[in-house]
Amino acid sequence: MAEQTMVATKHPVRRPAVHEWLRVKKKFPHLWCPGCGIGIVLGGTIRALESLGYSKDEVVMVAGIGCTGRIPVYVDCNTLHTTHGRALSFATGVKLARPDLKVMTFMGDGDALAIGGNHFIHAARRNIDITAIIVNNAIYGMTGGQCSPTTPLGKRATTAVYGSVEPPFDTCELAKSAGASFVARSTVYHVKHVEQMIRMALEHKGFSVVEIISNCHTYYGRINMEGGAVEMVKAMREKSIMVSETMDYEKARATGKPYVIGVLHRDTERPEYCELYEQMMQEAIGRK
């Protein structure tokens, strides 16, 4: 219908790439709250894939459960919607079966670091060529704002009404320590930067992690009185410091700002898991 109108007016408008990649007719409207940052992550992902020239058939998106876990439901490529925390395990299987495909996972902080924490560190340890996008809103959004492994100390959640007493994980530090060979962080305020970080992660061979700080104004913002979507996203600008040529990671951390953004770690020397696996297989066959 929309296309017919375009022909009729003879003013064809170039539809943005995201429209080609979305299951608009089948799966929309989406379930995210108005103002949610996940849409920015989805948009950034599609623009990054498009700019690198990937076709929809070359990309596999795997997700578990949660608000972020919904991303692949709305994307018209090869998608696998699995169980809570296990996106990386399923993705590991996909990647080993089809190393030629670009495999991505989408997880929230609860999905990736609580119930799926084990799989996260082991995927990083193997350095398997998967791009893990972790949207960190510091809370369990879908089930109603429970305390998560990234809820900052003292911040409140529906299961921590006097504030969390558990120290949170630093997703990027965890990924780096466990062996991920590309680690970056961005926030949904930095829309172009999100796209750039995802593009660099996709270009990297090995386990790449992009943590994107997002806003859950519906629960986190309301419970902690940090305002609505606009206030929370604006605050990200104040709370972030970018790693750049003049400001290295340690210097940026020393400023005390909560979110050091940019590429935090990159190791191009570490061998990638599927290649090692293939190499081992060829050697074993040669030996026979």
Partner 1 sequence: MAKVLQEATKMTQVQKMVKKALTGNEAAAYAMRQINPDVVAAYPITPATEIVQIYSSYVADGLVNTEFVAVESEHSAMSATVGACAAGGRAMTATSSQGLALMWEMLYIAAGLRLPIVMPVTNRALSAPINIHGDHSDTMGARDAGWIHIFSENSQEVYDNIIQAIRIAEHKDVLLPVMVTMDGFIISHAMEVVEVAPDELVSKFVGIYKPDRYLLDIDNPMTMGGLDFTDYYFEHRRSLAEPMFHAKEHILAVASEFEREFGRKYGLFEEYRMDNAEYAIVVLGSTAGTAKVAVDELREQGVKAGMIKVRIFRPFPYDEIAHAVSECRAAAVLDRSDGLAGRGGPVFGEVRSAICDMEKKPVTMNYVYGLGGRDINVEMIKSVYKDLQRAVATGERALVNYLGVRD
Residues in contact with partner 1 by CB under 8 A are 65, 81-85, 114-115, 117, 140, 142-144, 146-147, 149, 158-162
| Least CB distance to partner 1 at residue 157 (A) | 8
Among residues 114 and 200, whose Cβ is nearest to partner 1?
114
What are 6's two structure tokens?
Answer: 């375009």
| Least CB distance to partner 1 at residue 217 (A) | 19
Among residues 7 and 161, whose Cβ is nearest to partner 1?
161
| Least CB distance to partner 1 at residue 2 (A) | 29
| Least CB distance to partner 1 at residue 83 (A) | 6
Among residues 43 and 85, whose Cβ is nearest to partner 1?
85
Q: Is 118 helix (H, G, I), strand (E, B) or coil?
A: helix
The continuous run of DSSP H or E covering 45 comes out as helix 38-51
280 CB neighbour count, 10 Å cutoff = 10
Among residues 144 and 271, whose Cβ is nearest to partner 1?
144
Q: Which residues of 100-127 are buried (b: 16+ CB within 10 A; e: fewer)?
A: ebbbbbbbbbbbbbbbbbebbbbbbebb
What are 271's two structure tokens?
Answer: 């061998």
Q: Where are the beta strands (DSSP E) in 91-191?
A: 102-108, 130-136, 182-187
| Least CB distance to partner 1 at residue 205 (A) | 31
Among residues 27 and 84, whose Cβ is nearest to partner 1?
84
Query: Do the Cβ atoms of 99 and 81 come closer than 8 Å?
Result: no
